[in-house]
Chain A
Amino acid sequence: MNCIVCMTSVPDTASVIKVGGDGKSIDESGIKWIVSPYDEYALEEALQITEAKGGEVTVVTYGPDRAEAALRDCLARGAHQAVHILGGEATLGDSYTIAKVLAAAIKDRAYDLVLCGFKGVGTDCGQVGSMLAELLDVPHVVNVVELEVGDGSLTAGRDVEGGRENLESPLPALITCQKGLNEPRYAALKGIMAAKKKPVDKVEIASLGVDEGSGGFYRVENLELPPAKAAGTIIQGEDDAAAAAGELVKLLREEAKAI
């Protein structure tokens, strides 16, 4: 059972986001880049599947040089192979171009399952998985929180508003992984040392025959920070909680008209 994990590196979720000089991308100074949190579930699931059924996990990322650190982190956690497609600075969340690049890099590899995070924590598009499946011409299931992989097919559960859908799909297939699917492992020291020696297959974008363009299908015109919020009304409720509660409800009713 060979698994391909599509991974993107994103700013640490604790990062304070500032707008860069071009007014379209973020200021990358001081940003720590990590494996996108949902991609950790994809990697973990792939590792568990290959541990149980044999086969290899190949992690593919598309990004500039700085993406290599996250790729090494995946190798340290147990991925067998790593592919680094160099580029992606200009895509700024252009899901379709990203999917095209990934499809070109994946299509000739042998795989049973492609796993992605359900979204990249950053541009927050959550579209690459569905688009990539279409380009690879395989069925897909997004938002997976439960997975059983059998011979030639899978069953999966995913959360939808107020319920859960249970699905069946033939393999090969693509899934996107949601929190709740598993508990991602950390890299152990031994893995970190071993990862330093594992090769990373560097792929030049030109060799894939895809034009990464500049905002080919999703063009960012402007990036700004949300307007600062005015200070709110603070009610002291330490001494008389009931009075504070009453005042709050009154304000919500009469001033905010929220209830």
Chain B
Amino acid sequence: MAGILVFVEQRNSEVRKASLQALSEAKRQGGAVSAVLPGSGVGDAAAGLGAWGADKVYVADDPNLGLYSSDGYAEVVLKAAEQAQPNAIFFAGTAMGRDLAPTVAARLGVGAIPDAVDLALNGDSFSVRRPVYSGKAIATVDTAGNTPQVISLRPNVFAAEEVGGAGEAVALDGLSLSIRAVVKELVEAAGGEIDVAEADVIVSGGRGIKGPENFALIKSLADALGGAVGASRAAVDAGWIEHSHQVGQTGKVVSPSLYIAAGISGAIQHLAGMSSSKVIVAINKDPDAPIFKVADYGVVGDLFDVIPPMVEAIEAL
């Protein structure tokens, strides 16, 4: 096959983990792998991509590319695609990738497939498995012969694997950036809080935590595990925590290695958003709560009694 071009996302010149996962998966597929990295002052970041499987790295280093824009970044990816002539273009399914992939696809006049959790090569074209209805069903789809195939990969599903090696850097020149919607600033959350969409461990609280102040208890467990704080829709709608923490059908769909649901009964919309997590733990007073049906481990008990000794036990490990 002609190869895969992988869009690589950076923030403050640091490459995002989800992009390394996409790059590694491209490498595992066996063909030629190139990467495209737009940004400002990203020379060092580009030099490091060879070790993650990129044979060639197209770099667009421009002060106007420091922050994301659909227009600017799409132009860069198209320019790289023109040179690499890939069969497929991979994106990490982050907030950025989920916008950039369809933008690029529309400019190329092809469709796009988001949220890939498994890729199978048929000849030189991918069949993609992706969850639909927030994971209540799984679809296998392809692009009906249209190329390049534009595919975004769900974060935390594919392993990032350092393979060693050095990529050849190719500077993309002659860009004529025309940016209409401009990102004026990126305000990062205080204290380097981990986002549920990126976290490997998530501890979520629901109605059972009784009030906003008790998210401190949820956070103490999340902190002990180095994870992120999630929430059910009930907790978000009650105004206890911001929507960016919501897991479920109208929140974020997540697949961490460990998901702990505390005081969450397990409405079908919540289960849809987290049931593909690798290990699920439920803590709930109600032994009949639906959350126990998807849990690998459950504790029937009061979360206010169970969580503090859990934190102690974890910290003692």
- CB contacts (< 8 Å) of A170 on chain B: these are 180
- CB contacts (< 8 Å) of A218 on chain B: these are 111-113, 141, 143-144
- CB contacts (< 8 Å) of A121 on chain B: these are 134, 249-250
- CB contacts (< 8 Å) of A216 on chain B: these are 111, 144
- CB contacts (< 8 Å) of B287 on chain A: these are 234
- Asked whether A124 lies within 8 Å of B131 as measured between CB atoms, the reply is yes
- Asked whether A168 lies within 8 Å of B297 as measured between CB atoms, the reply is no
The answer to the question of A189 belonging to the interface, with a C-beta cut-off of 8 Å to chain B, is: no
- Asked whether B299 lies within 8 Å of A245 as measured between CB atoms, the reply is yes
- CB contacts (< 8 Å) of A164 on chain B: these are 186-187, 189
Query: Contact string, B238-264, partner A, CB cutoff 8 A, digits 1/0?
Result: 000011101001110100011000000
The answer to the question of B140 belonging to the interface, with a C-beta cut-off of 8 Å to chain A, is: yes
The answer to the question of B164 belonging to the interface, with a C-beta cut-off of 8 Å to chain A, is: no
- Asked whether A131 lies within 8 Å of B297 as measured between CB atoms, the reply is no
Given contacts A139-B180, A259-B314, contact A232 B102 (CB under 8 A): no
The answer to the question of A110 belonging to the interface, with a C-beta cut-off of 8 Å to chain B, is: no
From B71, B112, B285, A127 is in contact (CB under 8 Å) with: B112
The answer to the question of A222 belonging to the interface, with a C-beta cut-off of 8 Å to chain B, is: yes
- CB contacts (< 8 Å) of A256 on chain B: these are 258, 279, 296-297
Chain A nearest CB from B296 CB (Å) reads 5
Query: Contact string, B107-132, partner A, CB cutoff 8 A, digits 1/0?
Result: 10011111100000000000100011
- Asked whether B188 lies within 8 Å of A166 as measured between CB atoms, the reply is no
The stretch that binds B, out of A9-17, A44-52, A64-72, A74-82, is A9-17
- CB contacts (< 8 Å) of B6 on chain A: these are none
Per the CB 8 Å criterion, the residue count for chain B at the interface is: 97
From B137, B243, B257, B300, A223 is in contact (CB under 8 Å) with: B137
- Asked whether B193 lies within 8 Å of A127 as measured between CB atoms, the reply is no
- Asked whether A222 lies within 8 Å of B180 as measured between CB atoms, the reply is no
From B105, B267, B275, A131 is in contact (CB under 8 Å) with: B105
The answer to the question of A219 belonging to the interface, with a C-beta cut-off of 8 Å to chain B, is: yes
- The residue among A123, A232, A253, A258 with the most chain B CB atoms within 10 A of its own CB is A258
- Asked whether A161 lies within 8 Å of B197 as measured between CB atoms, the reply is yes
The answer to the question of A229 belonging to the interface, with a C-beta cut-off of 8 Å to chain B, is: yes
- Asked whether B133 lies within 8 Å of A173 as measured between CB atoms, the reply is no
The answer to the question of A191 belonging to the interface, with a C-beta cut-off of 8 Å to chain B, is: no
Query: Contact string, B73-108, partner A, CB cutoff 8 A, digits 1/0?
Result: 000000000000000000000111011011101110
Q: How far is the CA of A180 from the CA of B302 in the complex (A)?
A: 31
- Asked whether B297 lies within 8 Å of A235 as measured between CB atoms, the reply is yes
Chain A nearest CB from B65 CB (Å) reads 14
The answer to the question of A226 belonging to the interface, with a C-beta cut-off of 8 Å to chain B, is: yes
The answer to the question of A8 belonging to the interface, with a C-beta cut-off of 8 Å to chain B, is: no
- Asked whether A168 lies within 8 Å of B111 as measured between CB atoms, the reply is no
The answer to the question of B192 belonging to the interface, with a C-beta cut-off of 8 Å to chain A, is: yes
Q: How far is the CA of A97 from the CA of B112 in the complex (A)?
A: 11
Per the CB 8 Å criterion, the residue count for chain A at the interface is: 88
From B106, B192, B305, A135 is in contact (CB under 8 Å) with: B106
- CB contacts (< 8 Å) of A248 on chain B: these are 281, 297, 299, 306, 310
The answer to the question of B41 belonging to the interface, with a C-beta cut-off of 8 Å to chain A, is: no
The answer to the question of A203 belonging to the interface, with a C-beta cut-off of 8 Å to chain B, is: no
- Chain A residue nearest in CB terms to B246: A179
Q: How far is the CA of A203 from the CA of B131 in the complex (A)?
A: 32
- CB contacts (< 8 Å) of A222 on chain B: these are 139-140
- CB contacts (< 8 Å) of B99 on chain A: these are 130, 142-143
- Asked whether B111 lies within 8 Å of A96 as measured between CB atoms, the reply is yes
Q: How far is the CA of A168 from the CA of B185 in the complex (A)?
A: 10
The answer to the question of A26 belonging to the interface, with a C-beta cut-off of 8 Å to chain B, is: yes
The answer to the question of A244 belonging to the interface, with a C-beta cut-off of 8 Å to chain B, is: yes
Given contacts A162-B193, A221-B141, A241-B301, contact A259 B258 (CB under 8 A): yes
- Asked whether B141 lies within 8 Å of A220 as measured between CB atoms, the reply is yes
- The residue among A215, A226, A237 with the most chain B CB atoms within 10 A of its own CB is A237
Given contacts A124-B132, A216-B144, contact A159 B244 (CB under 8 A): yes
- Chain B residue nearest in CB terms to A137: B180
Residues from 94 to 138 in A contacting B, C-beta threshold 8 Å: 94-97, 99, 121-131, 133-135, 138
Q: Which residues of B contact A (CB under 8 A)?
A: 67-68, 70-71, 94-96, 98-99, 101-103, 105-107, 110-115, 127, 131-144, 146, 180-189, 192-195, 197-198, 201, 225, 242-244, 246, 249-251, 253, 257-258, 267-269, 275-276, 278-281, 283, 285, 287, 292-302, 305-310, 313-314, 317
21 inter-chain pairs at a CB distance below 8 angstroms, sorted by A residue, are A15-B133, A26-B137, A96-B112, A127-B105, A159-B244, A161-B197, A162-B194, A166-B184, A166-B185, A169-B182, A217-B111, A219-B142, A220-B141, A221-B127, A238-B300, A242-B305, A245-B299, A246-B309, A250-B313, A256-B279, A259-B225
Given contacts A170-B180, A238-B285, A245-B310, 9 further A-B contacts (CB under 8 A): A17-B137, A95-B102, A125-B115, A143-B99, A180-B242, A217-B143, A232-B295, A238-B300, A246-B309
